[in-house]
Structure 1
Amino acid sequence: MYAIVEIAGKQYKVREQDRLYVPRQQAEVDETLTFDRVLLVSNDDEVRVGTPVVEGARVQARVLDHVKADKVLVFKKKRRKRFKVKRGHRQPYTRIEISAVSL
C-alpha cells in the first residue's frame, strides 16, 4: 500500500516504514504527526483518487530529527566596481518516518 500525500505544499509518495526529509515542521522529536491531505491511496488491487483529497484517508508519521541541508553558496560580483558578496544558506528540514497509511 502506498499513498501520495501533500506536506507543506509538496507531494510525496510514501509507504509504511519510509523515512524522508520534509520542510521544517513545528513538532518535537518523537512526536506523532498526522497528515490529512492524502491525494491518492493505492492497495494491491484498488486505486482511490481524491477530488482533491481522499475522504477519511490519513498518514501518520513520527518525527525523527530536525536537520539542515547542505550549504548553498550565493556569490555576487560586479566587475570593476570592487563589489563582491558571499553568503551561505542552509535549508531546515524535518526527518520523519511513516508509521501508518490508513483509509
Structure 2
Amino acid sequence: MSYAIIETGGKQYRVAPGDVISVEKLDAQEGSEIDFNRVLLVSNDSGIQVGKPTVQGVKVVARVNAQARGDKVIVFKYKPKTRYRVKTGHRQSLTQVTISEILSGSSTNDKVAVTRSKKPSQPKKAPRIRRTSDGT
C-alpha cells in the first residue's frame, strides 16, 4: 500500500489514494484538481523515500470536493468577582479533498535510505570509593 505525508496549511497529513481529508481553505473551485508539492515522505512497493525536507519530483494529486466550514469552537472568557463574561465563537474555513494519486519522479537518485541508528552507549560510572573504618 502506498502512502505519502504531505504538508499544507501548516499541518501534516498522511494520505493514500482514495482518502478524503479536510485541509485549511485553498483557493480552488469545486471539482478542480490541485497538486500538493510539499511531500515530506513517500512509501510504496520499492521502499520509503524521506525528503530533506521534501522529496524532489513527487506530488500528490487531489480533487476538490467542497468548500465548507468546520464545527463552531466556543471561546468563553471569564473573570471571577467582576461580572466579566464574554462568549464568542469561531468556525474555520476548510476545503474537503479526495486524494486521486501519488505521482513519483523518474529519478531514483533522490532516494534516502532509512537506517536505524545505534543506541547511544551508556556513560561509564565512576568507580566507587570504599572507606575503611580508620577514615581513609
TM-score bracket, shorter-length normalisation: over 0.9
Q: Which has the higher contact order (CA 8 A, sep 6+)?
A: 1
In structure 2, runs of 5+ residues without a counterpart are 105-136
* Matches of 1:80 and 1:10, distance apart in 2: 40
| Equivalent position amino acid for 2:87 in 1 | K
**Corresponding residue of 1:81:** 82
4+ residue segments displaced more than 4 Å: none
| Equivalent position amino acid for 1:17 in 2 | G
**Corresponding residue of 1:101:** 102
Deviation, 1:83, is: 2.0
Matched, 1:69 2:52: no
Deviation, 1:46, is: 1.1
| Equivalent position amino acid for 2:92 in 1 | Q
Matched, 1:25 2:31: no
* Matches of 2:22 and 2:15, distance apart in 1: 12
Q: State TM-score, norm by structure 1.
A: 0.93
In structure 1, runs of 5+ residues without a counterpart are none
* Matches of 2:3 and 2:31, distance apart in 1: 23
Greater shift, 71-80 or 18-27, is seen at 71-80
Classify the secondary structure of the residue corresponding to 2:82: coil
Classify the secondary structure of the residue corresponding to 1:11: strand
**Structure with higher strand content:** 1
Q: How many residues align?
A: 103
Q: State TM-score, norm by structure 2.
A: 0.72
How large is the Cα RMSD of the aligned pairs?
1.1
* Matches of 1:77 and 1:8, distance apart in 2: 31
State the Cα deviation string for residues 37-63 of structure 1 (Å, max 9, x = none).
111111123111111111110101111
Larger radius of gyration: 2
Greater shift, 28-37 or 75-84, is seen at 75-84
**Corresponding residue of 1:15:** 16
* Matches of 1:50 and 1:77, distance apart in 2: 46
